[in-house]
Amino acid sequence: MPLDRLRDYRPDRTEPGDFDSFWDATLTQARDAATEPAFVRLDSDLVTVDVFDVTFSGYAGQPVKGWLLIPRHTDGPLPCVIDHIGYNGGRSLPHDWLAWSAAGYANLVMDVRGQGSKSGLVGATADPDPVGSPQVGGFLTRGINDPATYYYRRLYTDAVRAVDVMRAHPRVDPHRVFVAGGSQGGGVALAVAGLQPGLAGVMINVPFLCHIRRATEITDASPYSEITSYLQTHRTDVEQVFHTLSYFDGVNLAARANSPALFSVGLMDATCPPSTVFAAYNHYGAQDKEMVVWAYSGHEGGQAHQRAEMYRFARHH
């Protein structure tokens, strides 16, 4: 699809009638089950930041790990960026995450439940709620026959709870909390924007989990290929699968977002096709939004150049 058509591409949304009540109940349950978070100072060799090993309550009160990096020699509440991680990644080690603290922000790196055993970014958070139903290897079809058991119900809830936790931290200004991520992390950041109002801003790079049905029809790249592989076997489950996915599709969540947003897209991205990204962007609810287009980039997006755009956006907001 050429760029001029992408800029106007705003497909109809398919949304279940109980979408909002489903998420209200899920988040209320998680908040009711929450316990006090733990921030344990880490003895590290880093000299410009203080590092804390974080444990907080996510979905259904289940423990989620993370790193909190706070610039050393700073006083008072700081703006905070919560980073969300790409598919198969985990929180890794603190020295992999210095970009935001170097710019003067507190930075929470949220671990990804059940992931972090493939990409080199090691994880530390279990996913204790596997349903045991048939699935393709990976996470995209885990519990996919029911919205209540679907993997991303748990991950999105963890991410919303991360905002709750950081807004309550004494070193964080609750009015200046941002969320950010790329690929899966971009999809999670977009979900948070739709479920958690009043963020200072959201930075959504080459997002996964948007306009999902179209993605499965136009790309055979992983991870969307997990869904097509599943449906090649479970041939009679097609409509139930996409009903489940409609609760988690970034297009539906984007329509509920009210925070300033910076998106980015690679026009040669075969993993998260550009039309799926523009579908979410064009449905995004806030007027204060912008799209950075990398014409000759694939799923890597703008990399360091996009980081500069993110610094600019965060400083402005």
Residues forming the active site: 183, 269, 299
Q: What whole-number distance in Å separates Cα of residue 287 and Cα of residue 259?
A: 9
Locate 4 and state its tokens: 């001029």
Q: What whole-number distance in Å separates Cα of residue 198 and Cα of residue 295?
A: 32
- Are 50 and 285 in contact by the 8 Å Cβ rule? The answer is no
N-to-C CA span, the chain? 32
290 beta partners: 262
- Are 161 and 192 in contact by the 8 Å Cβ rule? The answer is no
Place of tokens 């799209």: 291
Place of tokens 């705003």: 10
Half-sphere exposure (CA, 13 Å, Cβ side) for 34?
23
Locate 2 and state its tokens: 């050429």
Residue 22's Cβ-count burial label (10 Å; 0-12, 13-18, 19+) is middle
Q: What whole-number distance in Å separates Cα of residue 147 and Cα of residue 156?
A: 12
